[in-house]
Chain A
Amino acid sequence: MTIEVAGLSKHFRVHRRPPGLAAAVRSLWRRRYDTVKAVDDVSFTIARGERVGFLGPNGAGKTTTMKVLSGLLHPTAGAVRVEGHQPFRREPDFLRRITLVMGQKQQLLWDLPPSETYALNRAVFGVDPAQARQTIAELTELLGLAGLTDKPTRQLSLGERMKCELAAALLHRPTTLFLDEPTIGLDVAMQVTIRDFIRDYNQRHDATVLLTSHYMDDVVALCPRVIVIDGGRLIHDGDLRALVKTMLPDKLVSFTGGVPAEEVARLGEVVKAEGGRTTVRVPEARLREVVSHVLDRAGADLAVEDPPLEDVMRKLFKDKRAAAPAAPPAEPPP
């Protein structure tokens, strides 16, 4: 197992500042602390070469978990092993095997071309020049970096910069990739480029990938397996398709024209009808029947899709929160 996490918790102690000026002044000498359970008793393992989607709403604890796994944060409790090391020791041999890409933070030197950051990383990671050249050639081809790496970073567009960030993070050929929202803010075409690149890197180097993204398309396209957390707690870990199937077993059938309005209503619940295209929700058991009916009337322009992952997630969080009423609030200050 490349990544082993057992009973991981990460709690932050935050100073609580009550509202109001008087209270704020008083709190200068009487500080009250709250404990934020950013990650709470989470366990999972990931095998070499897996691509796993790490999902959860804002504040779920995804970034915190990634930081613990990459050694930036000490765990409060629990055992973590990544590539055979305890991350928080930050041993050079460990750091040479992993990488963390944060879509919201950049490592490229702002005033200099990305190639300068590559030179720095090459020296820091002790990559020998021949291998570095080969890696850069490979990354340049896969990411389409030609012409970008010699312009100052500040002159690059967001998407171009992200591609260069990825290259900087992968120069030392890590075998475990923690990708925290690597596609944030990118247009659809650029998202697809990055996605394809990640899959390709994963296959070429048998690299393990843990990916967070709020764009469900990334996850659907890349990750056969998903781990879902909410409020710091693990609520699902398993096959993505199976999750979709159990949460929302219905399929979405869409087609253009051809079917009279009164028949459409009988096919299933209409989810969307715009621009002459109709989408109906159909239970899996009736799928065959509905599809053949529509094919008879509407001809070839027919599509059958899984319900969007967004809907699946929404339902998952709702169900779990209903099942386990709010976790006890923060511990009282000691």
Chain B
Amino acid sequence: MRLGYYARLFAVQARASLTTAMQYRADFLVQGLTSLYWLGWNLVPLLVLYDDRATVAGWSFGAALVVMAHFVIVRGILEGAINPSLGAVVEQIRSGAFDYTLLRPADAQFLVSTARFAPWRALDVLGGVGLLIYAFVRLGHAPSPAQLGAGLVLLGAGLAVMYGLWIMIVATAFWVVRMDNLIYLLSSVFDAARWPASVFRGVWKVVFTFVIPLALMTTFPARALLGTVTWQAGIGCLVGALLVSIVARLVWRLALRSYTSASS
């Protein structure tokens, strides 16, 4: 029952995002082409690196491609499903529309997390999958069903970690935005309309797009597919993902409580 309810909500929100995206079809095309272009560029360093040798630090060209493919997939999901909602919720808090989210009888974290998608990023994901397939063709063998399963589970765990961190960042937005409310109230010299959004776009974008995905989300699932991940590391990933998810939920609730005690 609850599951059905949230599935319906998800469908409605996803459809709204898709409709919005369709209104900007030119964007759709441009974004799609740009991502393919970047996909190509991502390959250049690899090609240069492997131009005259068979392995680098023990990684063959095919294995490195597997990692690269994961990177592309993860980035597609990140920029398609997670970052847009981050932007949307910070904007909501800023404009006060978040109040309307809180007036809806559904979990606010769910509503916020599914508020906006960038559907054309699915192209990145498809490109990544294509690359993955090509990599295994190069390697000359396919992953076993068990390896495939482990890879998917670890990818899921990595995404859960990303999402948890993302929720915590949004939670900090409650405080940052509130702070800039105060600045506004006290008519200080700061131009309140400017900085928090750019803070999120600047530093966090770098951290989120490159550092964490590379380390956490790309290597482990890739190694699972290649069959070189240890049981201990795999379980460590799962436990880590669970912990981050729990902490994220707690931080979210704390932030919400602080919002409802002093929003304006």
Contacts and interface: CB of A to CB of B under 8 A. Distances in A.
Interface string A3-16: 00000000011111
Nearest to B95: A105
A15 B182 contact: yes
Contact of A109 (B9, B16, B103, B188): B16
A91 B102 CA distance: 11
B186 A116 contact: no
Contact of B102 (A71, A112, A121): A71
Interface string A244-271: 0000000000000000000000000000
A16 B261 contact: no
A196 to B, nearest CB: 25
Contacts of A90: 102, 105
Interface string A132-150: 0000000000000000000
Interface stretch (A94-102, A277-285, A312-320): A94-102
Interface residues of B, number: 33
B12 interface: yes
A17 B184 CA distance: 11
Given A107-B100, A124-B106, A119 B12 contact: yes
A185 interface: no
Contact of A13 (B9, B13, B188, B262): B262
Main SS class of interface, B? helix
Contacts of B13: 120
B182 A14 contact: yes
Contact of A111 (B9, B20, B263): B20
Nearest to A17: B186
A10 B97 CA distance: 21
B260 interface: yes
Contact of A72 (B11, B97, B105, B260): B260
B96 A73 contact: no
B12 A92 contact: no
Contact of B8 (A12, A67, A100, A123): A123
Nearest to A24: B188
A72 B96 contact: no
Contacts of A175: none
A104 B97 CA distance: 10
A287 to B, nearest CB: 47
A152 interface: yes
Contact of B263 (A72, A95, A112, A121): A72
Given A111-B23, A124-B106, A17 B188 contact: yes
Nearest to A121: B104
Nearest to A76: B261
A215 interface: no
A120 B100 CA distance: 12
Contacts of B100: 105, 107
B99 to A, nearest CB: 6
B185 interface: yes
B96 A92 contact: no
B37 interface: no
Nearest to B261: A74
Interface in A106-133: 106-107, 109, 111-112, 116, 119-121, 123-126
A14 B263 contact: no
Interface in B210-264: 257, 260-264
B19 interface: yes
B114 to A, nearest CB: 10
Interface in B85-102: 95-97, 99-100, 102
Contact of B96 (A98, A105, A116): A105
B186 A14 contact: yes
B5 interface: yes
A124 B9 contact: yes
A305 B9 CA distance: 53
A131 to B, nearest CB: 16
A119 B186 CA distance: 40
23 contacts: A12-B262, A12-B264, A16-B186, A17-B183, A17-B188, A67-B263, A72-B102, A72-B103, A73-B260, A73-B262, A90-B105, A95-B104, A95-B105, A102-B96, A105-B96, A105-B97, A106-B97, A107-B100, A112-B16, A119-B15, A124-B9, A124-B111, A152-B23
Given A105-B100, A126-B5, 10 more contacts: A71-B102, A73-B263, A93-B105, A95-B103, A98-B103, A105-B95, A105-B97, A106-B97, A112-B19, A124-B9
Interface of A: 12-17, 24, 67, 70-74, 88, 90-93, 95-96, 98-100, 102, 104-107, 109, 111-112, 116, 119-121, 123-126, 152
Counting from the closest, the 10 A-B pairs by CB-CB distance are A92-B105, A107-B100, A95-B105, A105-B96, A123-B12, A124-B104, A111-B20, A17-B186, A74-B261, A123-B8
